[in-house]
Structure 1
Amino acid sequence: MLEYIAFDADDTLWHSEAHFGEAQAQFRLLMQQYLNGSYEDRYLQETEQRNIQHYGYGVKGFGLSMIETALELTQGRISPEHIRFLVNLTKELLAAPVRVLPEVEAVLDELSGDYPLMVITKGDLLDQETRFLRSGLSEYFRCLEVVSEKNPFTYSRILRRHRIRPERFLMVGNSLRSDIWPVLEIGGQAVYIPAPGAQEPLPMDDSTPGQYVRLGSIGQLPEWLEARLLAA
């Protein structure tokens, strides 16, 4: 019997990566003006990875990484107008409409009557709280947990605080690395619903405890839960 079901937010409940992709495309065009078309996306990605320890995950860190990358690649030649452009691009990302993914609201409406639900998501606290409220989905959840990193320690801490036994906890998300593997490591259950076109690492080796279920869409979740309950 499940005591709690948790959902990831970005690209599990609402669109996220598409907004970043659009911003990266605009940044690419800007850098190509300065670098005679020789810009590569890995430059920004490397800066982001380097800055996670300072800024964490989220739009603000992404915006600061764009500015830092631009300054480095242009050796400080980037104009104040283009710096302002990057600042405004970051603000546009923060204000972007929250587009809930298909089937999400119907699934939450169905499940919230039978299970307590929570959201566990990485990112900036203010940004994710704002998105959560603007999504129109907050009525279906008991709580929102915004964390700087998703690892076994983080999940264990959340479960202890809410007095949830790991074996009766189910995490639903689109990332094997942050939504699935850490939950399995602490003895929890997990459902993996990949985002379209997502590139994920290979499954864990056989020595890792637990297994996850992979579904094609979130719309299949209620049926899977019902079948699981009947089988039990």
Structure 2
Amino acid sequence: MEVDYSKITVVGFDADDTLWVNETYFREAEQKFAKLLEGYETMNTIDQELFKMEIKNLELYGYGVKGFMLSMVESALQLSNNKVSQATIGEILNLGKDMLRQPVELLDGVKEVLRELSKNYRLIVLTKGDLLDQERKLERSGLSEFFHHVEVLSDKKEENYIHLLNHLEIDVNEFLMIGNSLKSDVLPLIEIGAQAVHVPFHTTWQHEEVKIEDGDYTYLKINKLSDIVEYLK
């Protein structure tokens, strides 16, 4: 598609599943969690109830592994009618701790893309989740040198982006956001007058899924992050 990025001076990047692997670890933990509780319910029911618990708790815990851990514990108590053993609760907590200890696996071409774009653009990270965990992952990633600013948001809605862009004194017409989530990284930016690029990841949390009709929004979709370089020369 034809895009005009001639006014762009600042490029924002989502982190999880845009720069490095993240959702895969949640799916693996969910499968292990369901296995731990298979004596109480079917695997499908366990998955559904855990998701409901996560959504119910989002307002309290926000996004990230720690909130996910608490939702798993609460779901285990609920699904077992408070009969789940202390040992199983310990195993659930270890699932979360293992997630927090995961090495940072960069997606293909990320470092090369950031190195190239940083020559001509100011690069920032706009992610959501747990502050300590995201800071830890960025440090482990070896990508910090490419970014002028890193922001961990409680959510990624229009008002969050507007507030941040104003705070950083970034003109909305000069900003381009790149991310894997239509709901969080693309549509809110288009709504406020910025531009956005969608780079799908093979796994998407169902809370981030959104259906739109062709022609409702105008944005660039690329297959891999390295494809953006040809549009931002």
Tell me what 1:214 maps to. 221
Q: Residue 175 and residue 163 in structure 1: after superposition, are their counterparts in 2 closer, same or farther (change >3 A)?
A: same
Tell me what 1:170 maps to. 176
SS class of match (1:117): strand
User: What is the deviation of 1:95?
Assistant: 1.1
Tell me what 1:118 maps to. 124
Q: Equivalences for 1:1-232 in 2 at 5 Å?
A: 1-35=7-41, 39-198=45-204, 200-203=209-212, 211-226=218-233
How many residues were matched structurally?
A: 224
User: What is the deviation of 1:35?
Assistant: 3.3
Hey, what's the Cα distance between the residues in 2 that align with 1:99 and 1:121? Answer: 17
Work out which structure has the larger RCO, using CA pairs closer than 8 Å and 6 or more positions apart in sequence: 2
Query: Does the 8 Å contact 2:19/2:106 carry over to 1?
Result: yes
RMSD: 1.6
Tell me what 1:229 maps to. none
Hey, what's the Cα distance between the residues in 2 that align with 1:114 and 1:15? Answer: 26
Instruction: Specify the code of the residue in structure 2 equivalent to 1:201.
Output: V
Hey, what's the Cα distance between the residues in 2 that align with 1:58 and 1:38? Answer: 22
Task: Name stretches of at least 5 consecutive residues in structure 2 with no aligned partner.
Answer: 1-6
Fraction of identical pairs, as percent: 44
Query: Does the 8 Å contact 1:2/1:168 carry over to 2?
Result: yes
Q: Residue 147 and residue 202 in structure 1: after superposition, are their counterparts in 2 closer, same or farther (change >3 A)?
A: same
Instruction: Specify the code of the residue in structure 1 equivalent to 2:26.
Output: F
Hey, what's the Cα distance between the residues in 2 that align with 1:156 and 1:36? Answer: 43
- Once the two structures are superposed, residues 16-42 of structure 1 have per-residue CA deviations (whole angstroms, 9 ceiling, x without a partner) of 011111111100101103337674311
User: What is the deviation of 1:87?
Assistant: 1.1
Query: Does the 8 Å contact 1:112/1:140 carry over to 2?
Result: yes
Query: Does the 8 Å contact 1:59/1:90 carry over to 2?
Result: yes
Task: Name stretches of at least 5 consecutive residues in structure 1 with no aligned partner.
Answer: 227-232
